[in-house]
Copies of this chain bind each other. A is one copy, B any other.
């Protein structure tokens, strides 16, 4: 008999969110555990298994009622079921952790499926969100980093090894003074268009120019993309220019992604995407300026429509159907 529920888990560096999701895409129960309290994978996965069982028990459900567990995690590999060296996850830093296998063992053999967080987001958007019915799209997650999930003919693109879709590490600046990315490469999209990249742009401009800005009243360490957003909202010219610069770089990069897979739409997701009122115009302008004529004005730019608190859980859960 077909099961009526799945469990979705979103593994982040600090906390991991889990939820029980029904067929209609409603999160019927959810909880949060710490990811960063142990450097031992086995220990974290025991805590997670217990949290899943507790959550089910709280909803008067058991492992027998769920079709599977879907996990979205940094560097999660769909083919191998492993997290392959995730620097931001204490128990997966520099090592390969067979998450699906270990967790399934702790959950009476329930099927556990893993993918990276951006792929999970793309799946969630396709199953429950703005990308419903769109067969070809590229999901770009603008968070601490820049991730991507590429959907082709209604299916996630995994590639030969399960690692397809690392668009945050494509090169947007090949000049000698390009920024160095966390991955070690230079000029990566992520170094400019992640929440951290945008905040860095603001900080650099505050240092390099004398342009007045309300951001100057903040300690440098407190300037993040949300502060830049608030300043832009209040009309701060420097903050507005940060979004213009960030959107232009992103739009230019998106044009190259379109040349690869000719998607119907680009879907933006994540913290920085909440600044869409300042990003849409520069992104659209730069993307169309760098597209071949066959695509100019034709590629939709969409923003995630999932309720913020549920999005990551829903995305991960979509794996388990």
Contacts and interface: CB of A to CB of B under 8 A. Distances in A.
Contacts of A262: 158-166
A167 B259 contact: yes
Contact of A174 (B162, B166, B173, B263): B173
Interface string A287-321: 00010111100100000000000000000000000
A261 B164 contact: yes
A140 interface: no
Interface in A59-102: 84
A119 interface: no
A161 B175 CA distance: 34
Copies of chain A in the complex: 2
A28 to B, nearest CB: 35
B256 A170 contact: yes
Interface in A204-260: 252, 255-257, 259-260
A51 interface: no
A150 B290 contact: no
A131 B200 CA distance: 44
Given A152-B152, A174-B252, A175-B175, A257 B260 contact: yes
A167 B258 CA distance: 10
Bin chain A's interface residue count: 35 or more
A218 B207 CA distance: 53
A257 B259 CA distance: 11
Nearest to A137: B160
Contacts of A152: 152, 157, 159
A293 B161 CA distance: 13
**Candidate in A159, A290, A293 with the most chain B CB atoms within 10 angstroms:** A159
A40 interface: no
Contacts of A175: 174-175
A167 B260 contact: yes
A29 interface: no
Nearest to A135: B160
Contacts of A261: 150, 157, 159, 164, 260
A148 to B, nearest CB: 9
Contact of A163 (B165, B171, B295): B295
Interface of A: 84, 135-136, 150, 152, 157-167, 169-175, 183-185, 252, 255-257, 259-264, 290, 292-295, 298
16 contacts: A136-B160, A150-B260, A150-B261, A152-B159, A159-B262, A161-B295, A162-B262, A163-B262, A164-B261, A165-B262, A167-B259, A171-B252, A171-B256, A172-B174, A183-B292, A256-B256
